[in-house]
Amino acid sequence: MSERFAYERLFRLDGRTALVVGAGSGIGAAAAAGLAAFGATVVCADADAPAAARTADGIGAGATSRHLDLLDPASVAAAASAVRAPDVLVTTPAVNVRKPIVEYTDAELDRVVDLNLKGTFRLCRTFGAAMAEAGRGSMIGFSSIRSQTTEPGQGAYAATKAATVMLFKTLAAELGPRGVRANTIAPGVVETPLTAPIKARSEWYDAYAAKSIFERWAQPTEMVGAVVYLASDASSYVTGTTMFVDGGWTAADGRFVPPT
């Protein structure tokens, strides 16, 4: 008789190391705590080193912290030397400059592209090589609903988030034969430092809440289930895909409820 499949272990991450970039706040901090709760040893990394340390301290013995700035190639290289080949890589940092495309300056475009796309590319290039050499791992990037649907003022941000999806699809194609999976998560509106300016304007905040089927914003903790799933053996045959955790934003029009 064959050994029973250990379904109860599907989501466990015991014995695995997870590097979470952007762990100083928001979704990254929640992801780090969630991965640790399922048994992973977590390295909390952020350009804001004190913030990363606070997240690690909150987790306790299962976490450490380090400085990692996606804008600095030397910082990424130093992190790769220290962490080497993590079993799980999660990257969340992004920035947005809300302006019409025709009003964008080159400096503003560089600011968005340098972090959201070049920084993410740099991180994945460096750690993807190490993970492929080790023959294992799950790479998880954060895209956005803006990779699929946009609005005025989101041109550069939306472009980088669509590019993130294709970057991870290509990673999946290139590194899959070497044992590395790559997927993205696309949140809807989440209460994080990035969206704080929207929350501060009640009419804007309420309009975004109304667009969700649940008629509310998400909390960072509501992204953790998707992260743990993609990090774990529960998703062992999942690669090159995007999980939308958007409260139905991209499923329903939401502008008008017709009579039924």
Please identify every residue annotated as catalytic. Answer: 157
Question: How far, CA to CA in Å, does 57 sit from each of 60, 74, 113?
Answer: 5, 26, 32
Copy the structure tokens of residue 217.
């914003």
- In degrees and rounded to multiples of 5, residue 82 shows phi and psi of -80, -45
Q: Round to whole Å and give the CA distance between 121 and 171.
A: 10
How many degrees, rounded to 5, is the angle at CA 99 between CA 71 and CA 191?
70
- Where is 198: in which H helix or E strand? helix 196-199
Q: Give ∠ CA 52-116-184 in degrees, rounded to 5.
A: 85
What are the φ/ψ torsions at residue 24 (nearest 5 degrees)?
-70, -20
CA–CA separation, 78 vs 27, rounded Å? 24
136: Cα separation from own chain's centroid: 19
**Residue with the two structure tokens 């080949």:** 85
DSSP character at residue 152: T
* Helix H or strand E encompassing 124: helix 120-134
